[in-house]
Amino acid sequence: MNTRPLFALLVAFAATFPAQAQVDPATEPSVVAVSRAMPTVVNINTERVIKRTVRDPMDELFNQFFGGPMQRPRVLSQKVQSLGSGFIIDATGYIVTNEHVVERAAELKISVTTNDGKTYTARYIAGSPEADLALLKIDAKEPLPFIDLGALSPNHLGQTVLVLGNPLGYGSSVARGILSAKNRSVAIGETEFKNLLQTDAAINPGNSGGPLVDLSGKLVGVSSMKMAYTPQGVPAQGMGFAIPGDTVRGHVADFKKIASNPQAAREAEAARARARKLFGLTLQDLTPKLAETLGFPAGAGVVIADVDGRSVAEAAGLKQGLVITQVGRYEVTSVQQVEELLKAVDSGSQVDFTVVIARRVNGRDVRLRETVQLIAR
């Protein structure tokens, strides 16, 4: 059988269709988005000094029977480093990250490395433990690339999202997924974070504070946490959470007001300094919204927003979410008031903190009160 006429017919038929154009990987939407957004991403390295008080057991015995220590307790210092991510939000060098990445301490040092390998010392401007957001500032000689908070992603369910950051210390990493859900609530210890975005894109340690962007390079949110296990202990996969871009934009506006007022910036820093330095406590005012969440009237005390590891506060069992209503014999209603009371406290001094926790038992609101004695480090 002569197949040449049939072959010629097939060749002629194929010639009527244009050759399939080859796709250039450089033009893929995700590649273009990364090229726009990645230059804004920074690696954040923090170093802080944790101090802990050590007593001799015999000194404790002497204190028990004779009412006073034989000698002052020893104070040991230890340097602790942590890694995280952030991103530049304007050409002058303002940077957004998570508050837990740059949690404050008196001796905190913040080092920021930009995507081009340059390293800067950053200043902490302001932050919110409740929102888990913080604003930093670096000074560069040239204008810096940035993600515009004025043009956010529309955040459609199912849209492709990219996680940018420095997971596990590996710089300039990208993970891809979709926007899985909105308005999620996640409880971490005694604190509940609300209105979070959920994504199946991989968020790992070190990604915290980095941007979640869409395929146009616009901000979707700020990577915050992932869920490895449910509260019931069931393993979870593909569940990461981010703070929505509009929430970030609102808090940054408040943070910049502090930045524009040097006196307010000093007061914001002072509001954390002594409680953290002496006892390892980060305190926060009991705002109406936070008071409602914790079951307290507004202004009924101050909230423990964070507790330093290996601090005297941690050793005494104090935890995030507890409310301090009294320092010594004075009732307190603000962080500033606590700091004023602590101005007279030196290392080795003993201070009584009255701590209250609200619980609902058998349908009734119950407040448990306890006085905790802490020795300033």
Averaged pLDDT for residues 284-291: 75
SS3 of residue 238 by DSSP: coil
Question: Is residue 163 over pLDDT 60?
Answer: yes
Q: Is 223 a catalytic residue?
A: no
Averaged pLDDT for residues 163-185: 89
Question: Is residue 136 over pLDDT 60?
Answer: yes
Q: Across all residues in the chain, what is the average pLDDT?
A: 80
Q: Is 100 a catalytic residue?
A: yes
Which one is predicted more confidently, 255 or 229? 255
- What are the φ/ψ torsions at residue 26 (nearest 5 degrees)? -65, -20
pLDDT per position as a tens digit, 7-51: 666 666 666 655 555 678 888 999 999 999 999 999 998 865 555
328 dihedral zone (left: phi>0; alpha: psi -120 to 50; beta): left
The DSSP string of 280-312 is SEEEEE--HHHHHHHT--TTSSEEEEEE-TTSH
Q: How far apart are CA 322 and CA 133, in angstroms?
A: 20
Choice among 85, 173, 180, 208 that is catalytic = 208
Question: Is residue 270 over pLDDT 70?
Answer: no
pLDDT at 175: 93
Interior CA angle at 121 toward 93 and 284, to 5°? 80
Q: Based on the number of CB atoms within 10 Å of its own CB, is 64 exposed (0-12), middle (13-18) or buried (19 or more)?
A: exposed
Domains, the chain, in order of start with CATH, read: 160-244 (2.40.10.10), 273-375 (2.30.42.10)
- Residue 319 pLDDT class (50, 70, 90 cuts): confident
Least confident of 120-124, 258-262, 280-284: 258-262
Choice among 85, 100, 180, 224 that is catalytic = 100
Averaged pLDDT for residues 244-270: 78
Least confident of 94-103, 120-129, 189-198, 326-335: 189-198
pLDDT per position as a tens digit, 66-99: 555 555 555 555 555 567 899 999 999 999 999 8
**How many of the other CB atoms lie within 10 Å of CB of 277?**
21
Question: Is residue 106 over pLDDT 50?
Answer: no
Question: Is residue 297 over pLDDT 90?
Answer: no
- Residue 133 pLDDT class (50, 70, 90 cuts): very high
Averaged pLDDT for residues 288-302: 76
Averaged pLDDT for residues 47-56: 56
Q: Based on the number of CB atoms within 10 Å of its own CB, is 5 exposed (0-12), middle (13-18) or buried (19 or more)?
A: exposed
pLDDT > 70: percent of the chain: 74
Q: Do 162 and 213 form a contact (C-beta atoms < 8 A)? A: yes
Does the pTM surpass 0.75? The reply is no
Averaged pLDDT for residues 181-200: 82
